[in-house]
Amino acid sequence: MLRARYKGGQDNDFLTRPRFGGSIDNAKLDVVHGTTVEQFRCEGFALVNSRFSFNIFSRLRMNLFLDYARILGPTPQDVGGTGYGFRILAWGGLPIWLAHGIAKRYYPEGTKPEQTITFMTAAGW
């Protein structure tokens, strides 16, 4: 799967600004794997997400991720992320997600990579 999107606006206050970040994308959130949820609030951004998924067993699925975001304002930045994750279908169809991601800010200055580990489940009985 490959997905690209742009979000932006004018005169947005802090609460209505476009935002992205996080490592679990099952809720159709704008994510860069390796960052925390809604870590970036900005005036606008362009985002590309890619995912490759395959079944290991009937109840175990592996996902590989590669993400890139360009923050357009107020300060231009480039953020890249990569990660891998597993989805397990437990008893009664309960999904459990476990993901590990590494992100790095490339522009305006190189910084140390950030890492996140995310564990999430959803009631599905």
* 67-90 confidence digits (pLDDT tens): 999 998 888 899 999 999 999 988
Per the listing, tokens 């590309």 go with 48
- Cα dihedral across residues 94, 84, 4, 45: positive or negative: positive
- Helix H or strand E encompassing 96: strand 95-107
Task: For residue 60, list its beta bridge partners.
Answer: 57, 88
Identify the pLDDT of residue 93. 81
Q: What is the model's pTM?
A: 0.82
pLDDT in tens, 20-64: 888 776 656 788 999 988 888 888 899 999 999 999 998 999 999
Judged by DSSP in three states, 76 sits in coil
**Taking the CB of residue 13, how many other CB atoms lie within 10 A of it?**
6
Query: In which band, very low, low, confident or very high, does the pLDDT at 125 lie, cut at 50, 70 and 90?
Result: very low
CB proximity list for 42: less than 8 A, separation 6 or greater: 17, 18, 19, 71, 72, 73, 74
- Dmax over CA atoms of the chain, in Å, equals 49
